[in-house]
Amino acid sequence: MAVTAPLSVDAARAEVERAVAAARGAANVRCAFWQSHNGCSTATPDLPHTHLSGERELVEELRAVRFRISPNSFFQVNTRAADELGGVLERLVLEISARAQVTLVDVCCGAGAWGLCLARTVRSVIGVEMCADAVQDARRNAEENGVTNATFVCGKAEDVLDKVLRNVHGSECIAIVDPPRAGLHVSVLKALRACEKLRHVIYVSCNPMSFVEDAEKLCYAPSKSYRGEPFRPMRAIPVDLFPDTSHCELVVHMVRMPLAQPSVPVAASA
């Protein structure tokens, strides 16, 4: 998806074609879309887009699950490395779900990647996503892969997560949060803290600075703003999702613990 300041379709096509031609030697460009954005902030997924060339949707595979991805849906940029990241998440969830029938809440779920990959390891999956196109993709991907224990809610996480968590059935709940670089909205953090059934949070972070800010709020002692027992980071696992850059995806497993229980040092896994 190429995002530009307002241009005519012809001018946008010319710009994108030049970019595609320049990238052909280093990348397999399968499709090109153009989105016009009149502003300084990041373009929002509900802006209209124009198909310029190639396929109209991508098909990728993670953990033996096939995904159809429309232009506005979020999906990990490095599919091969994301498959390794999915393996890390699967091992963590299996350790938890082996002890109880759990519900997995996939926050910022995009096209359903993590929830659908992990559906076979838990009782049920609830995905939360603000982009309507991504939710439509997630529901279609669940149907085409024969996943019957996953549902998806369209809405901003800060608006719907509290209700989703209150309606969770079962003895225990796991949340996977995979937010954008800005991190989680404060209302999402408060909802995670307040849900007593939620004993585990698996945080997938692409920005260590916003993760630290969010982790502080999840680990605060209880207060009027942050109800519920705090979480404690138990394990941190880096995944090199962006080779040849300084960036690294970080998976942190956080467990809710009574305040009287002593803290356990974080274990870093290779």
Catalytic residue positions, numbered: 206, 249
* Rounded distance between C-alpha atoms, residue 6 and residue 130, angstroms: 25
The owner of tokens 């519920």 is 228
How does DSSP classify residue 257?
-
Closest CA to 136 of 116, 110, 118: 110
- Report the b/e string of 144-158 with b at 16+ CB within 10 A: ebebeebebbbeebb
The secondary structure of 127-166, three-state, reads EEECCHHHHHHHHHHHHHCCCCCEEEEECCHHHHHHHHHH
Give me the helices (H) in the chain, please: 9-23, 79-97, 113-118, 132-144, 157-166, 186-194, 208-219
Nearest-CA neighbor of 3 among 32, 27, 37, 51?
Answer: 37
